[in-house]
Amino acid sequence: MNETINSIKNRRSIRKYQEKQISEEALQLILEAATYAPSGSNNQSWIFTAIQNREVLQTLNRMVRHAFLEMELAENEYPAKIAAKKLAQSENYNFYYNAPTLIIASNVPNYANAMADCSCALQNIFLTAHSLGLGSCWINQLRWLNDHTGIRSYLASLGLTEERIICGASAIGFIEGNPPIVKARKENTIQVIK
């Protein structure tokens, strides 16, 4: 099988990471790969903010935890959001699974392809990480907290300005333990018309 297909089929979302930081070379390759994703009308209006500073990540984690603890959710809210709020009850809560690197993908406001472009870029991030023997996982909490004043002003102090829309993020790091097995694909998700 060619390497691209191999990476696509074997990448998994990783939720346990070693403390060891990824190399600078790996970080640059991953960030560069993100910028090679397709974008609507070649907009390339994304910004990828990589955070590797442990104290900054831990401060962000404390803010995210408190934001979830205070969040009021309707019963019919998206289940993953309800699950995230439940997880935040634990003092050991860590929204990025203690990964040593977190990359936030943001885009300009009022741009219809903001999510689509950043999603393509995030998949490039995941596949490049996998090809380098690293684990990754989409992290959605910051997207859900896009409008949280405290978190946005903290991110702004780091250079991610408040008007930008947070579309998603990726945890990156060395995998701790065995990666999860490939999940079975659902049936009847493909149609071919000839």
**Residue choice 7, 140, 160, 165 for contact with ligand FMN (CB under 6 A):** 140
> Taking each helix axis from N to C terminus, what angle separates 54-70 and 149-158, rounded to the nearest 10 degrees?
170
Contacts of residue 48, Cβ cutoff 8 Å, sequence gap at least 6:
31, 34, 35, 103, 104, 105, 121, 125
To ligand FMN, the closest distance from the beta carbon of 126 in angstroms equals 8
Question: Which residue is associated with the tokens 């999860």?
Answer: 180
- Angle, helices 3-10 vs 114-131, to 10°: value is 110
The single residue among 37, 137, 151, 166 that binds ligand FMN, judged by CB under 6 A, is 137
16 contacts ligand FMN (rule: CB under 6 A): no
Q: Does 175 bind ligand FMN (CB under 6 A)?
A: no
CB of 173 to ligand FMN, least distance (A): 13
Give yes or no for a contact between 144 and 67, defined as CB atoms under 8 angstroms apart.
no
The answer to whether residue 131 forms part of the interface with ligand FMN (CB under 6 A) is: no
* Contact between 26 and ligand FMN per CB under 6 A: no
Q: Which of residues 39-98 bind ligand FMN (CB under 6 A)?
A: none
Interface residues toward ligand FMN, by CB under 6 A:
12-13, 15, 137-141, 183
